[in-house]
Chains A and B, each alone.
Chain A
């Protein structure tokens, strides 16, 4: 399906009011993994709002990605509870294993390593998601082992 078709179908399904912006953006991310400039401009035109507003909403939410990502997406919680439980060491361990920095994608396109806002596992921090699966109570070692499941 062409991006325009996808967007107009999604707008048809959810409605063309401002409040329907997020479900439409979610549809696009589900289908294309990220929101391209072209997609955001199309959505803006579809809902008759400004591209800057779409961009503002898209960049506010961690799960609405605005650049192309790798095949597997690791999202590590960056909020304060996970921070207090040693999130820093976990990040460093994954960075060393994948040889990329937080926020980057591996050159082979296999992994993107991103920070995210709270994923609701504060009681078992540090926590991360790989694709849709949650990994919690992480140590540097368990985190690396989790990543290696996808290599």
Chain B
């Protein structure tokens, strides 16, 4: 069906636009920018900020272009004195209640409100503050902080949490001057349904939502004499870090990333892709074993910590479906303080493990009480590590890493590419694609196929599980077994798939779920902006990186093979279970109610 076209006028010029478009969308397609602070393409049109106002011929008042549909013959004016004056006034009203301590703000120079005030030449902030009620900063979450003072009530966070993630942890409470974004009874994010994904902070136009910072503890470890600081970088970092340094989105910068980490002063520069490969071996074998032994199916991936918390909160009955595999980040932390420490003869209490993750939920994951297998390992050997030892000590986001690179005085764009260190820097293309939605599934199928048939897939590119469709499915024939799989990204899509499992109507053997739209490359720790277009470019970078790798199947990773020979013995062995696997528990919200 072809969409009806409408003839409209913008600033005197005639355009043909599609029926159903808003004035804002039509203006943007015509190359005319309409500033705004609350509209979010495909997600939110709350029309709360009042910045996108335009004049319409014949209309008595200015209209908010984000919620005004175009009609045949409409005449729009975006650049009149009246429009400029109204935008000025509306920004000044927002600034009246907004703190002016930009230097102290994490969003300094990346703040949409700050940029827009500058773009629209608003210099006069003489309106008095009228918002009187004060709310304390919500720092309860290990991943995020919320500062009501900086909030302009655009409600993008509320819409993303609801429309994209179906988590609904936050809503606007009270009204008028007292209105504020709130969890249930203002109990704080950590006591709410929040899964720590950070999609809210990616769309926050101010510094009201921020990731918890851990750069201080990382510098402290690097600076401490005698401390052996190892860093692991997740697959999705290399596909996005360039955006922080002026590169176009979609430029894979693996070698540059390794070089920068080394120059910053880390003692060993490792790659989470190594443990991504390892995850595939363990999870692939778990899948085969569940199919052969009639275990609980579908098996569902477990590497995305926001998804894990989502399942623990909303689908506790289906926790047995989750793979018991720890995420690559946590496998890495455990192995660094056990196998690696022994192999290199380093005192495990002197090792600090730092993760660079595209993810705010990874900060939460590293703090889960059960994530201290290394301490357990050494205790069984009669050695006590210092109290509070975690497998992963600090988790920094891509943005925090960029800050640290800048602070180090490293000219990122001019670095010559280097390699990751051995042994945990060796990886395959299967590990790389963990960063994109569908990647874990594709990597697992490459290995499961080889495991069951003894030979590699003819075409390693399993295009059926790639792309940005919310839920994608595929069937793969392996030795007479038709393996049915599904991939979902974004928790709203995950919920749909899980409700099917809940009803016992899921036709799949294996499901991959990623918390964030696009997978890890779209994580809450990634550079801003993270529009759909940017996410798609990062995904392209991930697959091009995969194609350039000499090895593209996890089971061919020589360092993983050596790890099994020297330490783990075989997949799903006793050692594997105590080191690489974990368990989940239901999360009862609002206890006692």
Instruction: Write the residues of chain A forming the contact surface with B, with a CB cutoff of 8 angstroms.
Output: 37-38, 40-42, 49-56, 59-60, 117
Contact of A38 among B171, B173, B193, B593 (CB under 8 A): B593
Interface residues of B in 579-593 (CB under 8 A from A): 589-590, 593
Q: Report chain B residues within 8 Å CB of A50.
A: 162, 168-169, 171, 184, 193
Size category of the binding interface on chain B: 10 to 19
Q: Is B183 in contact with A52, judged by CB distance below 8 angstroms?
A: yes
Q: Is A51 in contact with B174, judged by CB distance below 8 angstroms?
A: no
What are the interface flags for B177-206 relative to A under an 8 Å C-beta threshold, 1 for contact and 0 otherwise? Answer: 000001111000000110000000000000
Contact of A52 among B169, B174, B175 (CB under 8 A): B169
Residue of B nearest to A78 (CB): B176
In Å, the complex CA distance between A76 and B65 comes to 38
Q: Report chain B residues within 8 Å CB of A49.
A: 168
Q: Is B174 in contact with A60, judged by CB distance below 8 angstroms?
A: yes
Q: Report chain B residues within 8 Å CB of A42.
A: 593
Q: Is B173 in contact with A59, judged by CB distance below 8 angstroms?
A: yes
Instruction: Indicate whether B170 reaches chain A with its CB closer than 8 angstroms.
Output: yes
In Å, the complex CA distance between A52 and B192 comes to 9
Q: Report chain B residues within 8 Å CB of A40.
A: 184-185
In Å, the complex CA distance between A116 and B170 comes to 25
Interface centre among A38, A42, A53, A54 (most CB of B within 10 A): A53
In Å, the complex CA distance between A108 and B174 comes to 28
Q: Is A60 in contact with B590, judged by CB distance below 8 angstroms?
A: no
Contact of B590 among A51, A53, A59, A117 (CB under 8 A): A51
Instruction: Indicate whether B172 reaches chain A with its CB closer than 8 angstroms.
Output: yes
What are the interface flags for B92-119 relative to A under an 8 Å C-beta threshold, 1 for contact and 0 otherwise? Answer: 0000000000000000000000000000
Residue of B nearest to A60 (CB): B175
Question: What's the minimum C-beta distance from B181 to chain A, rounded to whole angstroms?
Answer: 9
Interface of A (DSSP majority class): helix
Q: Report chain A residues within 8 Å CB of B173.
A: 55-56, 59-60
Residue of B nearest to A51 (CB): B184
15 contacts between A and B (CB under 8 A): A40-B184, A40-B185, A41-B184, A50-B168, A51-B184, A51-B589, A52-B171, A52-B183, A52-B192, A55-B171, A55-B173, A55-B185, A56-B182, A59-B175, A60-B173
Residue of B nearest to A66 (CB): B185
Question: What's the minimum C-beta distance from B499 to chain A, rounded to whole angstroms?
Answer: 12
Q: Is A41 in contact with B172, judged by CB distance below 8 angstroms?
A: no
Instruction: Write the residues of chain B forming the contact surface with A, with a CB cutoff of 8 angstroms.
Output: 162, 168-175, 182-185, 192-193, 589-590, 593
Contact of A37 among B162, B170, B174, B593 (CB under 8 A): B593
Interface of B (DSSP majority class): loop
New A-B pairs, 8, CB < 8 Å, besides A41-B593, A50-B169, A59-B182:
A37-B593, A38-B593, A49-B168, A50-B184, A52-B182, A55-B173, A56-B172, A117-B175
Question: What's the minimum C-beta distance from B480 to chain A, rounded to whole angstroms?
Answer: 42
In Å, the complex CA distance between A40 and B183 comes to 13
Instruction: Give the 8 A-B CB pairs with smallest separation, nearest first.
Output: A50-B168, A56-B171, A51-B184, A52-B171, A59-B173, A41-B593, A59-B174, A52-B184
In Å, the complex CA distance between A38 and B175 comes to 22
Q: Report chain B residues within 8 Å CB of A117.
A: 175
In Å, the complex CA distance between A50 and B193 comes to 9
Q: Is B593 in contact with A55, judged by CB distance below 8 angstroms?
A: no
Residue of A nearest to B193 (CB): A50
Given contacts A49-B168, A50-B169, contact A55 B182 (CB under 8 A): yes
Q: Report chain B residues within 8 Å CB of A41.
A: 184, 590, 593
Residue of A nearest to B169 (CB): A52
Residue of A nearest to B589 (CB): A51
Question: What's the minimum C-beta distance from A38 to chain B, rounded to whole angstroms?
Answer: 5
Interface centre among A49, A50, A52, A55 (most CB of B within 10 A): A52
In Å, the complex CA distance between A42 and B182 comes to 19
Residue of B nearest to A41 (CB): B593
Q: Report chain B residues within 8 Å CB of A60.
A: 173-175
Residue of A nearest to B172 (CB): A56
In Å, the complex CA distance between A50 and B158 comes to 12
Question: What's the minimum C-beta distance from B537 to chain A, rounded to whole angstroms?
Answer: 33
Residue of B nearest to A39 (CB): B593
Given contacts A50-B193, A51-B590, A52-B192, contact A37 B171 (CB under 8 A): no
In Å, the complex CA distance between A99 and B319 comes to 55
In Å, the complex CA distance between A50 and B194 comes to 12
Question: What's the minimum C-beta distance from A102 to chain B, rounded to whole angstroms?
Answer: 13
Given contacts A50-B171, A53-B168, contact A37 B193 (CB under 8 A): no
Given contacts A50-B193, A51-B184, contact A37 B175 (CB under 8 A): no
